[in-house]
Structure formats: C-alpha cells, structure tokens
Amino acid sequence: MGSNRWWPGLFFCLVLVVSMQAQQTSPADEATRRLALDIFKQLIEINTTDSVGNVTTAAEAMAQRFRDAGFPDSDIQVMGPNDRKKNVVVRLHGSGKHKPVLLIGHLDVVEARREDWTTDPFQFIEKDGYYYGRGSSDMKDGDAIMSATLIRMKKEGYVPSRDIILALTADEEGGTSNGVDWLIKNHRELIDAEFVLNHDGGGVLADHGKALMMEVDATEKLYGDFVLTATNPGGHSSLPRPENAIYELAGALTRIAHYQFPFELNNITRAYFERQVKMSTGQHAADLAAMLKSPPDMEAVARLSKDPLDNSIMHTTCVATRLSGGHANNALPQTAQANVNCRIEPGHTLEEIRLTLEKVVADPTIANPTIKVQFRENNNVLMEHGSDRHSYVPPAPRKEVFEPLDKVVAKMWPGIPVLPTMSTGASDGVYTNAAGMPTYCVSGEQYERDDIRAHGKDERMEVGSFARGVDFYYVFLKGVTAE
Ligand SMILES: [Zn+2]
C-alpha cells in the first residue's frame, strides 16, 4: 500500500503540468470559438455578392454584434458611398503608448451559382469535417475570427498598448466601391494606423494535413495586361510577302519569351530567401546563399531561375496568354494581336514595363515594323500608355508583427518556419500600402496546398482549422498589442 502512495501525487502533478501547458499553448476559449462560429454562419448566410447581394446588411449585422458586446456607438461607424456598399469600422481603445494597428477584412464575396455547387452557397453547412459556403475561406472566416477576437478582448476589459481598429469592407472582389480605398480617401482619421493586419492571405500551408510553414504575405506584385498588335494591308494569300502581321507578332512574342527582367530582391523577398537557406540543403542551399551575397552570384541566380516559383519572386515576369489574328483562311492577315500578362516587382510602374516591352519587341531586321504595345485597363480599354501605378517597395519586416508571430507559431505548430512572402495575387493591401501603412496578411488557419477553393465551387473551411484560427488570432493580436 505504502509503496503506491506516490501515485495519486504524481497523477495530480501531471494533470497540473498538462493543464498549465494547455493554458499556455492552447488559448482555446469555448465561448469565443462558439461566438466566432456563430458570426461565421451569420455572414455566410448574408449574400454579399456584387450582383444581387448587400454588403451593408453584413456591416449592420456586425455593428449590432459590437454594440451588444459593449462597444459605445461613438466607436462604431457604418458608412460608405452608397446604400448597398457600406463598411463597418470599430475601435477598441488602447493605452495610447503606440499608434493604432488596423485590421482589415472584406465582407463581399465572389459570385456563386446554386447550380454549380453541391450545396446552397449561401447556406452555412457543416459536412464531413468542413464548413461549406461562399466566403468560407475567402474571407468570412477571417471576418468572423477578427470580430470574435475583438469582442473577447472588449469583454475581458483588455487594454492594448495601441488602439485596435477593425474595418470590414466592401468590393474587394469586384464592384466599384472598394471600401478600403473609400475609407482612406474620405475618413482617413478613422482608420489611420502604424501598420495593418489583413486576414485575407497568409496562413499555415499544409500538405496532406502536415503543416509545412506559416506564410505571411508582406508585399505583393502588381498585375498588368499589355496588348501587342501588328498590322498589315493584307492581300491575297496566293501572293505572300515577307511582311506579315502574324509573323511579325510571332517574332515579337519570341523575343519576349527569351527576355529575362532584371534580378531584384526587396526587404521581404530577401528575408524570405534568408529563411529558405536554413530550410534547404545541398546545391540549392549553396545557390541561395550565393544569390544573397552582394554582389549576387549571377550563375546561382540563373540556376535558381529555372524554378518557376523562385523565378517569379526574383523577377518581374511577362508571358503571352491570349492570341488572335487574321480574318480568312485565304487572305494575308491584316492584324494579329496578343495579350501579355505581367506580374511586376514592387516599385516599377505599369508605364515602365510597357516601355521595356516596346524595347524588347523592337526587331532591327524588320524594315517597317508595325508592332504596337498598349496597356489594357481593368475595364478592357486599351491605352497608349500605362499609368504610374505601382506596388510599394516594402519596408523591412516589422518586429512588432514577426516577434509575437514567431512565438505563437513555435507553440501551436512547433518546428515550422515563419516565412515572409510576396504575394503574386492582389488584396486590399494595395490601398493601405500605398497610403503608407505597411500591410501584412496573417492568418492562423491551415490550408491544403492542393485544396484551395477560394472563388471556386464548393468553397470550404476545415472545422479544426477554423477553431485553431480563432485560438491563434487572440494570442497573436495580444502579442502585437501587449507592450
Ligand atoms: Zn479575399
């Protein structure tokens, strides 16, 4: 008997250790998880598409949630350029030690047709371990997580070291009333911040359920379409001449195919590759290290550029994506046209890239070249010149964001690296970055590299991933606003 007396004591100790660890490593709070899920469902079931939806309804619903949680009316604003596209802005006051942090999320979603989907896209459905619905991964999940986190902090009486502002907005996916842009232009004082956290990107990249890395989008490339047109008087196809619109265009496209834009790194892509060196081995690791030297080893750069992903990070890229030309099988072509799609490194304007393309396609062996390079606006209108729009060169990764992030990732996903990345897509960060507020896409949700359904049919979010995303965000945001 006596010899067994230590058992209960040890058991008690173990329980204590386990529960203390659980408190430290798992910030799970059942009430917050339930609240987040409830908001998630509510948002999915409010149609916020541009065609028939109403963003204002969603903004008003969130405003009501904040009022119910005790936020005073003076700290909640619902506003926008028209009745269907209002945004909601709420503020949790801090001690004022630092300038505010702004959290952003878009409330609108991409169109979804019932007949394309297995379930009704505007019904929140839990099935086989997933939540289904339009916006379940882009990004009513994030809207719900950020809202529930702020409500939890308010209820706990938490006083952050800086004001936390949350803006849930319209028309990120489409439409003409982009909420972030509108707020910056019309009510900058409401959302002015030292830096911005966007839930519309980043997250834990996983392969078959295994977490690989925590990605943080900290800058983005600029999207640009350019149109190449070759023209010719044409004529009868039985009398070919060397001048031919299709041949001239084909030659121009071949020159683009062989052209490599200059190698460049910015603060974020450099930090990304520096962390990649530690994760790589052999020749790849050696090449990365050689590339990071100054001056860079251009042979290493050339080897690394053979990988499409590494290449896209180190260079502006332009590629032919569409082609048309000619008007009859038995006639010489009068016009030939191609669309060239570019993803432009931060700091370079659309016009700068158009001018480069003009130089690249110029063929000195053609006596009377006709090729023209125009910029295609978003509304498909062709312009003789590109604008001076450009993506902003990012500042160095902020420690106020990355230090707390490193800590929470080490606890929740031990061993995976935190990687600052440059997104090749685009988010509302273009507006906040352009307004001088460095923007980071941070999310604690895990996503499968082969199961990305944002904008697609049967969009979904894994049940466990959402719950961890809720837990993560509270700890992360506290870390960002603690000191
Ligand atoms: Zn989105």
- pLDDT tens, position by position, for the chain (483 residues)? 333 333 333 333 334 444 443 344 346 789 999 999 999 999 999 999 999 999 999 999 999 999 999 999 999 999 999 999 999 999 999 999 999 999 999 999 999 999 999 999 999 999 999 999 999 999 999 999 999 999 999 999 999 999 999 999 999 998 899 999 999 999 999 999 999 999 999 999 999 999 999 999 999 999 999 999 999 999 999 999 999 999 999 999 999 999 999 999 999 999 999 999 988 999 999 999 999 999 999 999 999 999 998 999 999 999 999 999 999 999 999 999 999 999 999 999 999 999 999 999 999 999 899 999 999 997 889 999 998 888 889 988 999 999 999 999 999 999 999 999 998 777 899 899 989 999 999 999 999 877 777 778 899 999 999 999 999 999 999 999 998
DSSP H/E element including 30: helix 30-44
CA-to-CA separations, 265 to 222, 271, 272, 305, 346, in angstroms, rounded? 15, 9, 10, 13, 10
CA-to-CA separations, 447 to 138, 207, 374, 473, in angstroms, rounded? 12, 8, 38, 16
* Other residues' Cβ atoms within 10 Å of the Cβ of residue 465: 24
- Cα(381)–Cα(20) distance, rounded to whole angstroms? 62
- Cα(336)–Cα(253) distance, rounded to whole angstroms? 11
Site of tokens 């460049």: 264
- Cα(5)–Cα(216) distance, rounded to whole angstroms? 52
Site of tokens 């519309």: 200
Backbone angles phi, psi at 391, to 5 degrees: -85, 145
DSSP output for 66-96: HHHTT--GGGEEEE-SSTT--EEEEEE---S
For every residue of 434-462, which 3-state class applies, written as one string? HCCCCEEECCCCEEECCCCCCCCCCCEEE
**All domains in the chain, ordered by first residue:** 23-219+393-481 (3.40.630.10), 222-383 (3.30.70.360)
Distance 245 CA to ligand 1 centre (A): 41
* Residue 59: alpha-carbon gap to chain centroid: 22
Distance 427 CA to ligand 1 centre (A): 7
- Cα(99)–Cα(95) distance, rounded to whole angstroms? 10
Q: Are strands 210-220 and 418-423 parallel, antiparallel or unpaired?
A: parallel
Q: Secondary structure of the chain: what % helix, strand, coil (to 5)?
A: 40, 20, 40
Cis preceding linkage at 121, omega within 30: no
- Cα(442)–Cα(10) distance, rounded to whole angstroms? 41
**What is the pLDDT, as a whole number, of residue 456?**
80
Check the CA dihedral 31-37-41-46 and report its sign: positive
- Cα(113)–Cα(206) distance, rounded to whole angstroms? 29
**What is the pLDDT, as a whole number, of residue 27?**
63
* Other residues' Cβ atoms within 10 Å of the Cβ of residue 325: 17
* Structure tokens given for 266: 């910015």
Distance 62 CA to ligand 1 centre (A): 18
Distance 428 CA to ligand 1 centre (A): 8
Distance 148 CA to ligand 1 centre (A): 19
Distance 258 CA to ligand 1 centre (A): 34
- Cα(120)–Cα(116) distance, rounded to whole angstroms? 9
- Cα(141)–Cα(153) distance, rounded to whole angstroms? 18
Ramachandran class of 68: left when φ > 0, alpha when ψ lies in -120 to 50, beta otherwise: alpha
> What is the three-class DSSP state of 344?
strand
Distance 235 CA to ligand 1 centre (A): 50
DSSP 243: -
**What is the pLDDT, as a whole number, of residue 254?**
98
Distance 109 CA to ligand 1 centre (A): 8
Helices (H) and strands (E) in the chain, counts: 15, 20
**What is the pLDDT, as a whole number, of residue 279?**
87
* Residue 177: alpha-carbon gap to chain centroid: 19
Distance 139 CA to ligand 1 centre (A): 5
For every residue of 388-448, which 3-state class applies, written as one string? CCCCCCCCCCCHHHHHHHHHHHHHHCCCCCEEEEEECCCCCHHHHHHCCCCEEECCCCEEE
Distance 285 CA to ligand 1 centre (A): 34
Ion ligand 1, residues whose Cβ is below 5 A away: 138-139, 200
Distance 106 CA to ligand 1 centre (A): 7
Site of tokens 């941070």: 442
Distance 49 CA to ligand 1 centre (A): 13
List, in sequence order, every beta strand (DSSP E) within 282-416.
Answer: 317-325, 331-332, 335-344, 372-376, 382-383
Please name the amino acid found at residue 391. S
